[in-house]
């Protein structure tokens, strides 16, 4: 097993007034040749958006885009005619495929919104664009990982799906909890992002907004030291 900690202090940052962003990987004007992607995981942006502001209509193609609100809500509109607001406990997926235009605006005119935006390279290009969102009862399933995203051909109907052999799991955990993460697909890697709290892996302490990567493993034990919200992404490490 090979592991690495990615401290929050080493992320890229940008402050546009209405948007305060933290980049786990190279994005926009932030370029770090050592942090371009983690396997098929290309973008993990941790954004704080001012009330009444957001990302106006813009295009995407051939990317699987996942949005996870952490505080407040985002209102989504796209060129397929979809319009919806997504809040904490809900997850939004968009397969950009052959091309789509969309906007993501803070649902409040006064309160900030905090959100994670994640991009994953697809295993199938030029698919028909699609949009979906779903709520997950995280608080009523404390101390367990909930699968919120899974591959299009390996989905039990309870999670959203994307065109990649990747999984995303969210969980709200109490201090003192211990659990194992078992890799779902051999040779996939794991990228854990600690939204809140403190955990311990392999004797290493992971703090809020730190990340932990692992490859060439079967199972990893995780100990929760303080009340925590955890995002685990399992992704292929190589293109097909």
| Strand partners for 215 | 2
207 occurs within a structural domain: yes
Number of domains in the chain: 1
Q: Which residue has the tokens 């958006």?
A: 49
137 occurs within a structural domain: yes
The answer to whether residues 73 and 113 touch, using CB atoms and an 8 Å cutoff, is yes
The answer to whether residues 32 and 12 touch, using CB atoms and an 8 Å cutoff, is yes
58 occurs within a structural domain: yes
pLDDT digits (tens, 9 = 90+) for 179-191: 999 999 999 999 9
213 occurs within a structural domain: yes
The answer to whether residues 87 and 119 touch, using CB atoms and an 8 Å cutoff, is no
215 occurs within a structural domain: yes
Average pLDDT, the chain: 96
pLDDT digits (tens, 9 = 90+) for 135-161: 998 888 999 999 999 999 988 889 999
- Alpha-carbon distance of 67 to 197, in angstroms, equals 21
Per-residue pLDDT band for 5 (boundaries 50, 70, 90) equals: very high
65 occurs within a structural domain: yes
47 occurs within a structural domain: yes
Please tell me the least confidently modeled range out of 77-86, 152-161, 211-220: 152-161
The CATH number that applies at residue 88 is: 2.60.120.10
240 occurs within a structural domain: no
Global pTM?
0.96
Classify 124 as helix, strand or coil.
Answer: coil
The answer to whether residues 124 and 162 touch, using CB atoms and an 8 Å cutoff, is no
Please tell me the least confidently modeled range out of 9-18, 57-66, 118-127, 134-143: 134-143
Give percent of the chain above pLDDT 90. Answer: 93
Tokens, residue 13: 């940052």
The yes-or-no verdict on residue 238 having pLDDT over 90 is no
User: What's the burial of 2, exposed, middle or buried (CB within 10 Å: 0-12/13-18/19+)?
Assistant: exposed
Output 76-81 pairs: Cβ under 8 A, ≥24 positions apart: 76/102, 76/103, 76/104, 76/131, 76/133, 77/102, 77/103, 77/105, 78/102, 78/103, 78/131, 80/129, 80/130, 80/131
Owning domain of residue 30 = 2-235
Residue 161 is inside which H or E element, if any? strand 160-162
pLDDT digits (tens, 9 = 90+) for 88-137: 889 999 999 999 999 999 999 999 999 999 999 999 999 999 999 999 98
Classify 69 as helix, strand or coil.
Answer: strand
Q: What is the average pLDDT across 41-50?
A: 98
Q: Is 170 left (phi over 0), alpha (psi -120 to 50) or beta?
A: beta
């Amino acid at each position: 097993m090979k592991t690495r900690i990615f401290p929050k202090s080493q992320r890229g940052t940008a402050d546009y007034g209405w948007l305060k962003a933290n980049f786990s990987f190279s994005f926009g004007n932030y370029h770090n040749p050592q942090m371009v992607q983690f396997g098929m995981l290309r973008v993990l942006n941790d954004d704080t958006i001012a009330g009444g502001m957001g990302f106006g209509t813009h295009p995407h193609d051939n990317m699987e885009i996942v949005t996870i609100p952490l505080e407040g809500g985002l209102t989504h509109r796209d060129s397929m005619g979809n319009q919806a607001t997504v809040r904490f406990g809900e997850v939004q997926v968009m397969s950009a495929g052959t091309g789509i235009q969309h906007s993501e605006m803070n649902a409040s005119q006064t309160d900030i919104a905090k959100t994670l935006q994640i991009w994953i390279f697809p295993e199938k290009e030029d698919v028909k664009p699609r949009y979906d969102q779903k709520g997950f009862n995280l608080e009523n399933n404390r101390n367990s990982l909930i699968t919120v995203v899974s591959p299009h051909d390996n989905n039990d109907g309870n999670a959203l799906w994307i065109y990649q052999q990747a999984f995303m799991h969210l969980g709200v955990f109490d201090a003192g909890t211990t659990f194992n993460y078992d890799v779902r697909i051999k040779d996939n890697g794991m990228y854990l992002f600690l939204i809140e709290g403190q955990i311990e892996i392999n004797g290493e302490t992971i703090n809020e907004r730190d990340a932990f990567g692992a490859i060439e493993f079967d199972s990893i034990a995780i100990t929760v030291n303080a009340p925590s919200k955890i995002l685990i992404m399992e992704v292929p490490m190589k293109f097909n």
